[in-house]
């Protein structure tokens, strides 16, 4: 029986974006027998946000865990990797595990980069 555990920890870039973007639980788990995970993100501000997302593989989920290379480039896929999220809106990000089906636990960090969108002045 394949047995893998995919633990995803969240890292929010910057102080201001962390207050504006709600990504839900700080940790998510993908148990053996599952290869997909969905996370809802919410923009609780009155302005649109540009959000870019990427994953890093970690050697350990503990404080001393180091970023390590993935076994293959498509080990974990996500969609969308970038999106424009209007004010007071939400969207779903989906993660797909395509790595080995073995007994080894693997740990990943989701990195969310979030920027406020400015309105263009009208003349």
Show me where the domains of the chain are located: 6-116
For residue 34, is the peptide bond before it cis, meaning its omega torsion is within 30 degrees of 0?
Answer: no
- The answer, yes or no, to whether residue 36 has pLDDT greater than 70, is yes
> How confident is the model over 26-30, as a mean pLDDT?
89
Specify the range with the lowest mean pLDDT, choosing from 18-22, 33-37, 41-45, 49-53: 18-22
- The answer, yes or no, to whether residue 92 has pLDDT greater than 80, is yes
Q: How far apart are CA 113 and CA 85, in angstroms?
A: 13
- The answer, yes or no, to whether residue 10 has pLDDT greater than 50, is no
Strand partners, 40: 92
Q: How far apart are CA 82 and CA 93, in angstroms?
A: 10
Q: Does domain 6-116 have CATH number 2.40.30.10?
A: no
- The answer, yes or no, to whether residue 12 has pLDDT greater than 60, is no
- Look at residue 19 in the predicted model and tell me its pLDDT: 56
- The answer, yes or no, to whether residue 17 has pLDDT greater than 50, is no
Place of tokens 């999106």: 83
- Are 106 and 72 in contact by the 8 Å Cβ rule? The answer is no
Q: What is the pTM of this model?
A: 0.78
- Look at residue 102 in the predicted model and tell me its pLDDT: 87
């Amino acid at each position: 029986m394949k047995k893998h555990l995919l633990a995803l920890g969240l890292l929010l870039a910057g102080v201001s974006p962390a207050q504006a973007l709600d990504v839900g639980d700080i940790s998510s788990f993908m148990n053996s027998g599952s290869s997909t995970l969905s996370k809802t993100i919410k923009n609780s501000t009155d302005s649109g946000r540009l959000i870019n997302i990427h994953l890093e593989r970690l050697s350990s989920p503990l404080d001393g865990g180091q970023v390590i290379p993935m076994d293959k480039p498509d080990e974990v896929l996500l969609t969308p990797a970038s999106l424009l999220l209007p004010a007071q809106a939400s969207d779903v990000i989906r993660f797909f595990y395509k790595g080995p089906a073995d007994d080894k636990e693997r740990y990943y960090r989701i990195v969310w980069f979030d920027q406020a969108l400015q309105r263009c002045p009208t003349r």
